[in-house]
């Protein structure tokens, strides 16, 4: 990155020397404020990094396959009901609860994505998801964090990574809703980094005469952003050493899961992950694997995975069944180390249709991919972590993302999964609620995280209710 004190002229010259002089092609006709904007963007760019990515990723082609010789499924800790050691899970829960009581854990949401598949106009976290009250994703998480604070003592800090595009709108949403009852001094927003898109010739693209085609640097950019924003220092001041990482699109997530925290801490792990058993070979999630003695996540799109993901054990179970649902525990100092190690997380290339200016300054909307975006993925940190641990989690209690407008992983499937969970919790108290064969009740009900965050806390809270509410359409608890 250019030194902040670089003069515009020095910056322009450094771009020219790097073969990126086209970024300033329209400089002569820019007004002073437009020039200042372009210079500010240019100062963000690490030209050496772009040159390195061009030399590696552009020349290798978009479909270059990784060398996966020796790949094997990663070991994971099965749940007690699937053969795991109940005593080990109980010890993990106790350790996690102790850590929450001691204020060692902060919540961390990555919310900088563009959410193009959902096609919703606004930060994805503001999207309404709950079946009766229509609460937003952000409100659901806020209530889960508040509930953890009420149960265990200090309310954990909450870090939310935004993008340049949605930062202001996200902050405004929280301000309008008084932070959903959380202390605003303990809810922190910071923007993730941006990367310029390049053409297939490696030249940085312009989307306007005074603006490069910049986009978020991927959820892996969260490690650098956590460091740069001062989030890690704030945690250190508080004595918090563990970050519970989750995505903005998944309202079922147990944001502060004591068992998960406990496994991570008891194993002395720097980065831990949750897996669910894949629903079938076709499910589009990454696979936890080992490669050269390290834990890695191999994406479903990796060519070598296409056949491997269908391999089965003699029992009939999928051999590569440990699917990644993007839930991680991160050690604070591990994040700092990764953020500061320039050779840490790799970048991936994504070939995209990128609207950009042609040489005459005319905006072109391409019909086919004309350029490349560079992104980092957070799971690429796993091979760098000491003692990584992968634990099993029941899908129904941790994972139902809103990714697409329709079909799988959509608002409709997520709503149904919430309803099934609420019905399961009611059943656990002995209450009768009609459901279909998939466990879905025929009418909407809603249970606030402030009433219960899991089956055990639901049973506890239900016991204290007097009189018991009638089970009917629109029932809301908490």
Closest CA to 248 of 190, 161, 360: 161
Nearest approach, Cβ of residue 254 and ligand UTP (Å): 16
Contact present, 237 and 353 (Cβ < 8 Å): no
136 binds ligand UTP (CB under 6 A): no
Whole-angstrom Cα distance, residue 199 to residue 355?
A: 11
* Structure tokens given for 123: 């930060």
CB of 126 to ligand UTP, least distance (A): 12
Give the total of residues touching ligand UTP (CB under 6 A). 19
Tell me which of 104, 167, 203, 219 binds ligand UTP, using CB under 6 A: 219
Q: Is the preceding omega at residue 209 within 30 degrees of 0, hence cis? A: no
Q: Give residues 381-410 in contact with ligand UTP (rule: CB under 6 A).
A: 403
3-class secondary-structure state, position 476: strand
Per the CB < 8 A criterion, the answer to whether 180 and 133 are in contact is no
Site for ligand UTP in 151-170 (CB under 6 A): 161
Helix (H) or strand (E) segment spanning residue 106: strand 105-110
- Judged by CB under 6 A, the residue of 5, 116, 178, 466 near ligand UTP is 116
Residues 40-69, interacting with ligand UTP (CB under 6 A):
none
Among 57, 110, 212, 354, binds ligand UTP (CB under 6 A): 110
Q: Which stretch binds ligand UTP (CB under 6 A): 58-66, 105-113, 227-235, 273-281?
A: 105-113
Torsional sign, CA 79, 82, 85, 86: positive
**What string of H, E and C letters represents the secondary structure of 53-86?**
HHHHHHHHCCCCCCCCCCCEECCCECCHHHCCCH
Site for ligand UTP in 321-380 (CB under 6 A): none
Q: CB 235 → ligand UTP: shortest distance, Å? A: 19
CA dihedral (339, 296, 246, 183) positive or negative: negative
Distance in Å, CB of 153 to ligand UTP, minimum:
28
Each residue 226-255 as x (binds ligand UTP by CB under 6 A) or -, in order, gives: ---------------------xxx------
Which CB atom, from 163 or from 418, has the smaller least distance to ligand UTP? Answer: 163
Binding residues (CB under 6 A) for ligand UTP: these are 110-117, 161, 192, 216-219, 221, 247-249, 403
């Amino acid at each position: 990155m250019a030194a902040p004190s670089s003069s515009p002229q020095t910056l322009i010259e450094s771009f020219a020397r790097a073969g990126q002089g086209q970024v300033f092609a329209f400089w002569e006709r820019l007004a002073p404020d437009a020039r200042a904007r372009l210079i500010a963007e240019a100062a963000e760019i690490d030209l050496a990094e772009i040159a390195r990515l061009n030399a590696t990723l552009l020349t290798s082609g978009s479909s270059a396959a990784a060398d996966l010789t020796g790949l094997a499924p990663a070991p994971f800790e099965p749940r007690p009901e699937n053969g795991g050691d109940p005593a080990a899970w109980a010890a993990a829960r106790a350790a996690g609860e102790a850590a929450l009581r001691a204020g060692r854990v902060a919540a961390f949401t990555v919310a900088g994505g563009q959410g193009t598949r959902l096609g919703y106009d606004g930060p994805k976290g503001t999207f309404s998801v709950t079946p009766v009250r229509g609460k937003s994703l952000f409100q659901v998480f806020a209530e889960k964090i508040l509930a953890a604070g009420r149960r265990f003592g200090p309310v954990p800090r909450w870090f939310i990574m935004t993008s340049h595009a949605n930062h202001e709108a996200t902050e405004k949403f929280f301000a309008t809703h008084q932070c959903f009852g959380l202390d605003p001094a303990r809810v922190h927003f910071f923007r993730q980094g941006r990367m310029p898109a390049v053409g297939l010739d490696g030249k940085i693209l312009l989307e306007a005469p005074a603006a490069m085609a910049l986009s978020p640097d991927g959820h892996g950019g969260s490690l650098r952003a956590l460091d740069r924003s001062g989030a890690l220092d704030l945690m250190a001041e508080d004595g918090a050493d563990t970050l519970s990482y989750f995505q903005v699109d998944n309202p079922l997530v147990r944001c502060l899961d004591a068992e998960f925290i406990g496994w991570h801490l008891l194993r002395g792990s720097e980065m831990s992950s949750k897996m669910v058993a894949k629903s079938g070979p076709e499910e589009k999630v990454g696979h936890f694997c080992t490669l050269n003695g390290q834990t890695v996540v191999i994406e479903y799109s990796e060519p070598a995975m296409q056949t491997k993901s269908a391999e089965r054990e003699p029992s009939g179970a999928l051999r590569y069944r440990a699917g990644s649902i993007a839930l991680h525990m991160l050690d604070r100092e591990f994040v700092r180390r990764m953020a500061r190690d320039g050779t840490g997380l790799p970048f991936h290339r994504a070939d995209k249709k990128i609207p950009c200016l042609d040489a005459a300054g005319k905006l072109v909307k391409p019909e086919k991919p004309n350029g490349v975006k560079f992104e980092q993925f957070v799971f690429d940190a796993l091979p760098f972590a000491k003692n990584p641990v992968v634990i099993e989690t029941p899908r129904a209690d941790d994972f139902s993302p809103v990714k697409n407008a329709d079909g799988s992983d959509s608002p409709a499937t997520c709503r149904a999964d919430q309803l099934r969970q609420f019905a399961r919790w009611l059943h656990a108290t002995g209450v009768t609620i009609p459901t279909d064969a998939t466990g879905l009740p025929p009418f909407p009900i809603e249970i606030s995280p402030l009433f219960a965050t899991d089956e055990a806390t639901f049973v506890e809270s239900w016991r204290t209710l007097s009189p018991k509410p009638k089970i009917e359409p629109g029932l809301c608890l908490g």
